[in-house]
Structure 1
Amino acid sequence: MAGKFEVYEDKGGKWRFRLKASNGEVIATSQGYSSKASAKNGVDSVRRHAAEADIVEVPKED
């Protein structure tokens, strides 16, 4: 089974999405959005951009 995106309303009334691996582990969570449609647009954006995204190592802050 493939992973899945879940769109949900949090306790504060914001819409969020999380990406779950096939084993049910949450591997990514979103910011809060003001509407369900905006959260779904966030999912679409991740789907479009993740495959081509670079992996960048960020130096440790002092």
Structure 2
Amino acid sequence: MAHKFTIKKNKAGEFVARFVYNSETIFWTEGYSSKTSARNAIASVLKNGPGAAIEEIDD
């Protein structure tokens, strides 16, 4: 599979959910004190992401 979510502890000991595509981290969440909170963040992205608007900002 070319893409997946991972949950990993950061240097501060917090759990971070990452979206990885072809072994490259595309985005990550803030750090959470529990693995369950990181899983909830992934669930929120899966639920709310498909309907999210795309906003292009020209500098």
Task: Please identify which structure carries the higher strand content.
Answer: 2
Superposed CA RMSD: 1.3
Partner residue of 1:19?
19
Residue aligned with 1:33, SS: coil
Flag structure 1 segments of 5+ consecutive residues without an equivalent. none
Q: TM-score, normalised by structure 1?
A: 0.83
- SS in structure 1 of the partner of residue 32 of structure 2: coil
Q: CA deviation at 1:58?
A: 4.2
Using the aligned pairs only, state the percent identity: 39
TM-score (norm 2): 0.87
Q: CA offset at residue 57 of structure 1? A: 3.0
How many residues are treated as equivalent by the alignment?
59
How far apart in 1 are the matches of 2:31 and 2:57?
24
Mapped partners of 1:48, 1:12: distance in 2: 28
